[in-house]
Structure 1
Amino acid sequence: MSYKKHLERKIIAGFLLISALFQSAQAEIKLWTEPEKQTSMEISQWQVNDLVYHLDENIDSPFAKKVFAIVTAENDQKESQKIPLFYNSGNEWLFRYSSSTVGKKSFVLESEIPGLDGVKGEFIVTRNTSPKRRGGIVLNKAHPQHFFYEDGSHYFNLAFECDWLFALDYGTPDLPKTRHLLDQIEKNGFNQIVMNVYSYDVSWPKDPLLKKHPEHEYGGREDIFPFLGSNSNPDYSSLNIAFFKHFDKVISEMDDRALACHLMIYVWNKLVAWPEMESEADNMYYDYVVKRYQAFPNMIWDVSKEALHRTRATKEYISERIERTRELDSYGRLISVHDYGFCRNHPEEVDFISMQNWKHTLYQHMLEARKDFPGKPIFNIEHGGYEESPYVVFPGAYADAEACLRRNYLCLFAGGYTTYYWQGASWNVLIHNPFEQPAEFIKPHFDYFSHMRKLFDTVHFENCVPLSNQNSSGYNLTNRKDGIILMYTPKENHYIGVDGQLRSEFDYSNATQQWFNTLTGEYSKETKYIEKDLGFWDWRPWRGEADAILIIRNLKPLPRK
């Protein structure tokens, strides 16, 4: 190889390395340490920025101070936000900002603190170029029962519960375990993590095997607490800023991977020593969470896990917290409550309906909710399917991996969204590297959900409607817009078919048929659709081995009579 060629390759390699490092740096929160000295700050659409302001003196009761940035778009005075700043320890205050629109924007601080009041600045927001960044998760009037990104693309809400994620690398400067787990979650198709800001411990008995593997136990730690002191000896006079600085890094890592954060601000049944409801300390904590994390485009609010748990909270309190959130959150992030009873009785207060249903009749209950709330997405956060792990953490009603998978599919075929639980990562037990564990350890079936995500990305779930009267011996989803029929078939079923209405609604002359294996992600060969007598299929692959989905494509709607 010539020296010139060698030099060219070194230059290209160096350029690629610099580009990679630049993209990595760009993905993190962008820090502006002296924003008051900047003529204008160039930022990217949907990128999170921290503007750091230092005061010359200490401020008494800093968490109670009101400091806002009034942000106005140059070409649209109506596009204005009143964004709260928050105290960040010492004499430091942060203005955390992201923008969903491009262009020039100016801001001015309004504060009862003289050193901050009247401070001005300007942003130049450039168009997003990262394929992962699509903006916040929003509702869409044209598809009221589905989620979308701000860029207009559909958000296929496939969640993974990981309540103790905040604790995984707590006390370390880097997040190696957190990154490893998030990489596994992302690469297997999940795009949301349902999590707590803080949990202490579980009240039920723990698996004795955990004593041999204390590295997987994160419950009961006294060194982690969002207030001063500890959970056993709390000091509610102030918040623990170090806790939230760590939490910033966790949420930022999720945002970098386009993993939505379904953030349950409280949890009542995990032995947390919360301050009294609506006390000064309670309001300080709640407001601080909303102030500090609203700028992240991946944020979804949930007032509390087990919101109306019998030992804590009232419906009036939950309603007040929702109203409080909406008043403080200048970005209008979606909000719900982990309690179906509350959502059913207060649908006007939530943006989507959260369900928790363990019954065998899950599909029917999901259909009922979809019918009762035609203007809102239905999200089953907890359906009692908790896939088994090396430890028995909380087996719920269903621990078999295939049974859990089927319940997730039932939610989808009822037109709703769903959440996956693995007992080795959803609660106080947290195995961040399950596939690096000893051979005898039970591994999770993340791959089942990777296959699920790939399938539903191709059939345009936002256009699919569950037609329960067309279920035959399986479960139907019909996409009239794109000419697709899906029939989910339990592995025990021999026959599956397309019922009368759908047989007469479409022109099948160019239709194709194909089967999808829900366990392996395998597709059968796509062949011409052939209608059988009575609409039955006298053969289906993987019968007795795996649930399968019949996919009929290339349908043309017939003129309606």
Structure 2
Amino acid sequence: MKKYLRTFYIFCCVLLVPTIAISQSKTFKNPKANTKIIGQQWEVIDLVFSAKTKSKSPFDIKATAHVTGKKESQQIPLFYNGNDTWVLRYSSANTEEQSFVISSELKALDGKRGKITITKNQKTDRHGGIVLNENNPQHLFYEDGSHYFNLAFECDWLFALDYGQDDINKTKHLLSLLNEYRFNQVVMNVYSYDVSWPKDKRLAEHPEHEYGGREDIFPFLGSNSNPDFSSLNINFFKHFDKVISEMHNQEIVSHLMIYVWNKLVSWPEMESEADNRYYNYVIKRYQAFPNIIWDVSKEALHKTRATAGYISERIERTRKLDSYGRLVSVHDYGFCRNHADEVDFISMQNWQHTLYQNMLNARNDFPNKPIFNIEHGGYEASPYVVFPGAYTDAEVCLRRNYMCLFAGGYTTYYWQGASWNALIHNPFEQPKDFQKPHFEYFTHMRKLFDSAPFENFEANSRYNGSGYNLTNKKDGIILLYTPKENHYTSAKVQVSREFNFENATQQWFNTLTGEFTLEEKYEMKELGFWDYRPWRYEADAVLIIRNLKPKNK
């Protein structure tokens, strides 16, 4: 019954989308100086200006809006949107009236001015862009100060769903699923072409799930097989606008990888005019979206396509062009490790069996930056073998995600049916024998950390015992993660040394079902390993001890 209720819920959401305010970009065409332009905090506003030009390269015409208010001043680049139109795309966290004036080498744009009024946000699940916090530097936060529990889902080909269609119903459906199961980030490419490794023959029987190798999708003129780098494909980016806007509507962050080197893409030469034009355009066009995190490239130093110097230059270029200061990282741990001062958080890609220790080492090595494992080798199986990696069993993949969390870092979930060229947007509407993803495992994960604020925990390997320890002294909570094979775990030594526990309670959490045992009074037993823990051999579990009071030192 729950399955059918959930499916009905999603169906209703998709039906209702056109009847509610789905577009997060309010559009004002050719606004005058006295046009009333009003938007809410973190709402995206497009001011569209018509200005004819005889330039053969309108993308390269410079136009900047100088936006000023009582709290801040910004220099925001406009972008060309085809048909002699330029767009000032804007959002703000500040509730105030702001004024703008445009400076441009194009006379028809130069001197355009107006005022924008930003009112208080009315969307209860909207909290602003993702930022750092100097008082808690190893965690991520929203602009309104609330914690951002970075739980990502890899979907490289999201840009390709519904491409060429007026609506984006498939995209909405997939994003609605991710939202329902409480993922709040998609790791994605601006563009990918195809994979270089062997494809499952079964995929050929379902062309509706194959998005690799499409010649009709390309961010430049021409096609990937016959590229024309002289200009950009406006229609590609207009479609991409719909995708990013819908993600913003559903409060899902786009972890946007601007390049990818190992997906057979025909890119222009590094630092060429065409390369710079493409990179600049992406930054100009999407920086106003609060749900953007920049990533220069997937597999950033893959083979010999890019140098560390080139990646550094792209980061510097991003920071100069992005007037909103969105977070920047690079999908390459070697680069992040050697250039930690250039990135806002450390991105890792680690498949080793010793994942927990590797994550813990990184967290200790970079005490002032969040650690995010984008790719830990766990690629849950789907009906197609797309990229098996090191681990495909759903429970093992889940365990590796918990290993990242209990080392104090953030994590990403991969399902082979959606991470790469095979993209199944509606997995729960497939036949009964269809191998479906275990999205629910991550809903349970979020439920656990709703009850135990992750941003206040520290990885405490000293007291790992037979599991993994997270300690939250601020709220008086200890979490101990234990694999299902584990017979016994205890926080006895830590509790006795560091806490007063007269009012402490304990309970267990089942990582596969989301079930909590009853919260009972904590008892410190001398030989507790004679007691069986719940769900032994059935599910990994977390022991939760609450209401601890730190001892006065």
TM superposition score category, shorter chain reference: over 0.9
Out of 488, 494, 505, the residue aligned to residue 487 of structure 2 is 494
Q: How do 1:263-274 and structure 2 match up within 5 A?
A: 263-274=256-267
Superposition deviation, residue 534 in structure 1 = 5.2
Superposition deviation, residue 26 in structure 1 = 6.6
Q: How do 1:311-330 and structure 2 match up within 5 A?
A: 311-330=304-323
Superposition deviation, residue 40 in structure 1 = 3.2
Q: How do 1:42-441 and structure 2 match up within 5 A?
A: 42-73=38-69, 75-76=70-71, 79-441=72-434
Superposition deviation, residue 59 in structure 1 = 3.4
Out of 425, 439, 442, the residue aligned to residue 435 of structure 2 is 442
Partner of 2:28 in structure 1?
32
Q: Which amino acid aligns with 2:105?
A: E
Quote the Cα distance in structure 1 between the aligned partners of 2:495 and 2:367. 22
Superposition deviation, residue 129 in structure 1 = 1.2
Quote the Cα distance in structure 2 between the aligned partners of 1:510 and 1:238. 68
Q: Which amino acid aligns with 1:29?
A: S
Q: Deviations over 1:188-215 (max 9, x none)?
A: 1100000000000000000000111110
- Helix, strand or coil for the counterpart of 2:177? helix
- Helix, strand or coil for the counterpart of 2:458? coil
Quote the Cα distance in structure 2 between the aligned partners of 1:189 and 1:81. 33
Superposition deviation, residue 493 in structure 1 = 0.4
Superposition deviation, residue 131 in structure 1 = 0.9
Quote the Cα distance in structure 1 between the aligned partners of 2:158 and 2:178. 12
Superposition deviation, residue 42 in structure 1 = 1.1
Q: Which amino acid aligns with 1:383?
A: H
Superposition deviation, residue 376 in structure 1 = 0.1
Q: Deviations over 1:302-345 (max 9, x none)?
A: 00000000130000000000000000000000000000000000
Question: Retained in 1: the 8 A contact 2:142–2:148?
Answer: yes
Greater Cα shift, 415-424 or 521-530: 521-530
Q: Deviations over 1:411-459 (max 9, x none)?
A: 0000000000000000000000001111111000000000001111221
Q: CA, structure 1 residues 244+431, in 2 after alignment: closer, same or farther (shift >3 Å)?
A: same
- Helix, strand or coil for the counterpart of 2:75? strand
Q: CA, structure 1 residues 26+446, in 2 after alignment: closer, same or farther (shift >3 Å)?
A: closer
Superposition deviation, residue 536 in structure 1 = 4.5
Superposition deviation, residue 504 in structure 1 = 1.9
Question: Retained in 2: the 8 A contact 1:497–1:537?
Answer: no
- Helix, strand or coil for the counterpart of 2:21? helix
Unpaired runs of at least 5, structure 2? 1-15
Q: Which amino acid aligns with 1:309?
A: H
Q: Deviations over 1:473-512 (max 9, x none)?
A: 0000011000100000000000100152332211111111
- Helix, strand or coil for the counterpart of 1:420? strand
Q: TM-score, normalised by structure 2?
A: 0.96
Question: Retained in 2: the 8 A contact 1:28–1:252?
Answer: yes
Quote the Cα distance in structure 2 between the aligned partners of 1:114 and 1:57. 9
Q: CA, structure 1 residues 23+438, in 2 after alignment: closer, same or farther (shift >3 Å)?
A: closer
Question: Retained in 2: the 8 A contact 1:58–1:90?
Answer: no
- Helix, strand or coil for the counterpart of 1:533? coil
Superposition deviation, residue 271 in structure 1 = 0.1
Superposition deviation, residue 162 in structure 1 = 0.2
- Helix, strand or coil for the counterpart of 1:502? helix
Question: Retained in 1: the 8 A contact 2:44–2:89?
Answer: yes
Quote the Cα distance in structure 2 between the aligned partners of 1:420 and 1:362. 15
Superposition deviation, residue 539 in structure 1 = 2.2
Q: Which amino acid aligns with 1:206?
A: K
Q: CA, structure 1 residues 38+437, in 2 after alignment: closer, same or farther (shift >3 Å)?
A: farther
Question: Retained in 2: the 8 A contact 1:387–1:400?
Answer: yes
Quote the Cα distance in structure 1 between the aligned partners of 2:99 and 2:530. 64
Question: Retained in 2: the 8 A contact 1:470–1:499?
Answer: no
Superposition deviation, residue 36 in structure 1 = 2.2
Q: Deviations over 1:17-76 (max 9, x none)?
A: xxx989932752111113126433111110001100001444331111110000000x34
Greater Cα shift, 36-45 or 420-429: 36-45
Q: TM-score, normalised by structure 1?
A: 0.94
Quote the Cα distance in structure 2 between the aligned partners of 1:363 and 1:499. 22
Whether 2:512 is the aligned partner of 1:516: answer no
Q: Which amino acid aligns with 1:541?
A: P
Q: Which amino acid aligns with 2:24?
A: E
- Helix, strand or coil for the counterpart of 1:35? coil
Question: Retained in 1: the 8 A contact 2:181–2:443?
Answer: yes
Q: Deviations over 1:212-266 (max 9, x none)?
A: 1110000000000000000000000000000000000000000011100000000
Partner of 1:15 in structure 2?
none
Quote the Cα distance in structure 1 between the aligned partners of 2:516 and 2:456. 22
Unpaired runs of at least 5, structure 1? 1-19
